[in-house]
């Protein structure tokens, strides 16, 4: 018998992000024409990590596509905390910069918490500032972390209902797991947050209607760990021999999922599209 074709189960993050970017571009054109405002994003990258440089480049290319003015603040590896704080304060004060993105991780000698705290919450395009995180937790979603917001957008686009469903999140990071949990609770899902210390992960994932996994462990989620018909978002990225892998064993898990994101071409492009939306949002509110 011929292999079944599972393509219709794939959530196409590339075409979804294109759709979001087109909407953003249109609104930016209007903002320019009506108010004479060009949204501006400053990215700060400390050091020369190749992966970080690649991610920053992807963000700058997206800015170019939608009409955002983008500045690349690449600071040397030896940057001191005070120099970093000074740069953030300068960008906070600039009227032409509406979004500030401090690329993570920072080199070990720098403190990311105090740097993030120094970013004007109104310019926090990443949604990582404690003020914006706190608002998210009480159900006021303005500038929120881009990756989980991309998952929410995909759920909406594919008309997956969330209310009353059991969503299982694997990974409790500040950038994915925790904000993802808050967003799903805000939409009345029943949420379980699993992580590296969870005793029996499979017990939870087998019960899940929706799974969001972001751990960076290659192919952690196997076919025998998911329920038939589950909706699965793979937020993980790990690199091995120049190839990118997700946290989900896609080729086997796709056979049980009703919808699933691939890596690459899934959540990654959505993250960047949402970032563009956030810079626009910050510019509109300025
Ligand atoms: N302050 C901060 N904000 C971030 O948003 C942030 C960060 N730090 N540090 C690193 C992670 C990683 N990240 C990615 C975004 C897009 C893709 C993406 O679009 N990936 C393509 C593949 C690109 C390729 O490798 O060709 C895809 O999944 O299809 C990946 C990774 C944002 N991050």
Q: What domain count does the chain have?
A: 2
> Would you say residue 125 lies in a domain?
yes
Q: Annotated active-site positions, please?
A: 59, 103, 126
Whether residue 168 sits in one domain with residue 229: yes
Give the closest residue to 50 by CA, choosing from 103, 109, 102.
103
Residue 96 banded pLDDT, cuts 50, 70, 90: very high
Beta-carbon contacts of residue 170 (< 8 Å; ≥ 6 apart): 177, 194, 195, 201, 205, 211, 212, 213, 214, 215, 220, 221, 247
Q: What's the CATH number where 156 sits?
A: 3.40.50.720
If asked whether residues 109 and 168 sit together in one domain, one would say no
pLDDT of 187 above 80: yes
The strand ranges marked E within the chain are 40-46, 69-75, 99-102, 166-170, 190-194, 210-213, 231-234, 238-240, 243-245, 259-260
Enter the pTM of the model.
0.97
Instruction: For residues 158 and 51, state if they share a domain.
Output: no
- Rounded to two decimals, the ipTM of the complex is 0.95
Q: What is the mean pLDDT of residues 259-284?
A: 98
Q: Are 41 and 91 in contact (CB under 8 A)?
A: no
Ligand 1 site, CB within 6 A: 55, 58, 101-104, 126, 146, 237, 244, 263-265, 268-269, 271-272
Query: Does one domain contain both 172 and 259?
Result: yes
Query: Is 44 annotated among the ligand-binding residues?
Result: no
Mean pLDDT of 201-227: 98
* For residues 210-221, average pLDDT: 98
In this prediction, residues 104-108 reach a mean pLDDT of: 97
- Which CATH number do you get for residue 94? 3.40.50.10860
For the cut 90, the answer to whether the pLDDT of residue 280 exceeds it is: yes
Residue 172 CB: number of other CB atoms within 10 A? 18
- Is residue 3 pLDDT above 80, yes or no? no
171 is in an annotated binding site: yes
* Mean residue pLDDT across the chain: 97
**Residue span of the structural domain in which 192 resides:** 146-268
In a domain, 186, yes or no: yes
Is there a domain that residue 19 lies in? no
pLDDT computed for residue 4 by the predictor: 80
Same structural domain for residues 167 and 252? yes
Instruction: Examine the domain organization and report whether 47 and 95 are in the same domain.
Output: yes
Q: Is 84 helix (H, G, I), strand (E, B) or coil?
A: helix
Q: What mean pLDDT comes out for the span 145-165?
A: 98
Residue in 212, 200, 197 with CA at minimum distance from that of residue 247? 212
pLDDT beyond 70 at 132: yes
Mutate to test the pocket of ligand 1, among 268, 269, 276 (most ligand atoms within 8 A of CB): 268
Whether 9 maps to a domain, the answer reads: no
Please give the pLDDT value at position 279. 98
Residues 6+ apart with CB under 8 A from 137: 182
For 17-45, the pLDDT digits (tens) are 999 999 999 999 999 999 999 999 999 99
Percent of the chain with pLDDT over 90: 99
Residues 223 and 255 sit within 8 Å (Cβ to Cβ): yes
Tens of pLDDT, residues 231-265: 999 999 999 999 999 999 999 999 999 999 999 99
């Amino acid at each position: 018998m011929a292999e079944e074709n599972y393509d219709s189960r794939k959530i196409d993050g590339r075409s979804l992000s294109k759709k979001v970017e087109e909407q953003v571009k249109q609104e930016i054109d209007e903002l320019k024409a009506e108010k004479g405002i060009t949204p501006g994003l400053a990215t700060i990258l400390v050091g020369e990590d190749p992966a970080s440089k690649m991610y920053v480049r992807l963000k700058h290319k997206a800015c170019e596509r939608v009409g955002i003015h983008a500045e690349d603040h690449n600071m040397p590896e030896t940057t001191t905390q005070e120099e970093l704080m000074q740069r953030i304060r300068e960008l906070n004060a600039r009227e032409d910069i509406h979004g500030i993105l401090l690329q993570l991780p920072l080199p070990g000698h720098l403190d990311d918490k105090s740097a993030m705290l120094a970013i004007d919450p109104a310019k926090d395009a990443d949604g990582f500032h404690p003020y914006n995180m706190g608002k998210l937790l009480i159900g006021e979603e303005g500038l929120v972390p881009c990756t989980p917001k991309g998952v929410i957008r995909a759920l909406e686009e594919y008309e997956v209902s969330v209310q009353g469903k059991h969503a299982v999140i694997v990974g409790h990071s500040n950038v994915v797991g925790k904000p993802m949990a808050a967003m799903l609770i805000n939409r009345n899902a029943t949420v379980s947050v699993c992580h590296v210390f969870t005793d029996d992960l499979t017990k939870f994932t087998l019960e899940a209607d929706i799974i969001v996994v972001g751990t960076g462990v290659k192919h952690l989620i196997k076919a025998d760990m998911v329920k038939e018909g589950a909706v699965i978002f793979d937020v993980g990225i790990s690199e091995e021999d120049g190839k990118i892998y997700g946290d989900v064993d896609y080729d086997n898990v796709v056979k049980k999922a009703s919808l699933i994101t691939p890596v690459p071409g899934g959540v990654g492009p959505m993250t960047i599209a949402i970032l563009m939306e956030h810079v626009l949002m910050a510019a509109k509110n300025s």
